[in-house]
A and B are shown apart, each in its own frame.
Chain A
Amino acid sequence: MESDAMRVDGNAMAGILGEVFVQEMTAVRIACGGCGKVEPVGAEHAYMRGPGIVMRCCHCDSVLLVVTHTGETHRFGVGRAKWLDFGEGA
């Protein structure tokens, strides 16, 4: 895929995910419902500068997760993430 200056790593979402989840999220593995590939959250692509933060599959660009700050609270949206594996030693 073409380089895109706005694209960063899922690791950049660690702070916002840390406010939503109790667990450090970047090593959690996520399965893409679009192409089926499994990667740690830290390796996926993140787009941080928008009305919300969007995590996309680093292989097929499918939207996996979306975090929006809707006024008072965070809303955590699930796009095409099939599952998240919180296992230890991922």
Chain B
Amino acid sequence: MAYVSRGFRGKRAKEREDARLPPGQYLVDDFPVLSAGPTPHTPFEDWTFTIESEMAELKRWSSESFRALPSEEVRADIQCVTKWSKLDTTWEGVSVDTLLEGVEHDATHAMVFSDGDYTTNLPLEDLLDGKAWVAFAYDGLPLEPEHGGPARLLVPHLYFWKSAKWVRGLRLMDHDEPGFWESYGYHIYGDPWREQRYAGD
């Protein structure tokens, strides 16, 4: 192992013994900001969300029509692949179940896409049955750009890189395909409880 620096603990609030933490994670009290590129600053009035198939656009919402949809409060623990976790975070969002209501498809997977060319892939079943939301508020306030505002995907049961910031839509697919981090070496699925951080784990 690397040289141990006398007296260094880092910013972690607690040790890793907490039973609510998946293997290899530690708790933080702040909300770290990670990014792969410049922060987009899309005003909510200009934001849209679309559901597409490989061929066509199936559904589209403007910020107005999106906010008219039923939304819910979500309380979740989030796990970042860089090993920090945050418990009991609160969000407000529209369930992906609501968004996919009435959409006819035979898709097995989805590619989530965001401003700034970020993408991430998921099996469709991980987006359904109350497991995923498009969230526009965090901790009672509108979601800030550095944390993904105006809206981000929220899929707390997987590593947080799957909860794409600055989300703009889903492309329904009949096969799986790696998104941005997945194509650079991160795990195609990303289950924190099986510590699926990197491809091949």
Question: Which residue of B is nearest A4, CB measured?
Answer: B38
Say whether B39 contacts A6, CB under 8 Å.
yes
Residue among A45, A51, A63, A75 with the most chain B CB within 10 A?
A: A51
With A68-B185, A68-B186, A77-B185: A50-B198 Cβ-Cβ less than 8 Å? no
In the assembled complex, B161 has its CB within 8 A of some CB on chain A: yes
Most buried by A among B36, B80, B82, B116: B36
Given contacts A52-B181, A52-B185, A70-B199, whether A2 and B34 have CB atoms under 8 Å apart is: no
Establish whether residues B186 and A51, one from each chain, have CB atoms under 8 Å apart when the complex forms.
yes
Rounded to whole Å, the gap between the CB of A18 and the closest CB of chain B is: 17
Q: How far is the CA of A67 from the CA of B137 in the complex (A)?
A: 32
Task: Tell me the chain A residues, 54-75 only, with Cβ under 8 Å from chain B.
Answer: 54, 56, 61, 63, 66, 68, 70-71, 75
**Does any Cβ of A come within 8 Å of B16's Cβ?**
no
Q: How many residues of A contact B (CB 8 A)?
A: 21
B38 and A66 contacting across the interface, CB-CB below 8 Å? no
Contact (Cβ within 8 A) B34 A66? no
Q: What residues of B have a CB within 8 angstroms of the CB of A52 in the complex?
A: 36, 181, 184-186
- Taking CB atoms, residues of chain A closer than 8 Å to B185 are 52, 68, 70, 75, 77
A37 within 8 A of B: no
Which residues of chain A from 4 to 37 have a CB within 8 Å of any chain B CB?
Answer: 4, 6-7
Closest chain A residue, CB of each to CB of B39: A4
Given A2-B41, A71-B201, the answer on whether A49 and B35 have CB atoms closer than 8 Å is: yes
| Contact status A71-B197, CB under 8 Å | yes
Q: How many residues of B contact A (CB 8 A)?
A: 24
Cα(A47)–Cα(B181), bound, Å? 14
Docked complex Cα distance between A68 and B200 (Å) = 14
Decide if A90 is an interface residue (CB 8 Å cutoff).
no
Evaluate contact between A66 and B184: CB separation under 8 angstroms: yes
Supposing A4-B39, A6-B39, A63-B117 touch, asked if A68 and B184 sit within 8 A by C-beta, the answer is yes
Tell me the bound Cα distance from A7 to B38 in angstroms. 7
13 residue pairs of the A-B complex, CB under 8 angstroms, read A2-B38, A7-B38, A47-B35, A47-B36, A47-B37, A51-B181, A52-B181, A66-B36, A68-B185, A70-B198, A71-B197, A75-B184, A77-B185
Q: Footprint of B on A, CB under 8 Å? A: 1-2, 4, 6-7, 45, 47, 49-52, 54, 56, 61, 63, 66, 68, 70-71, 75, 77
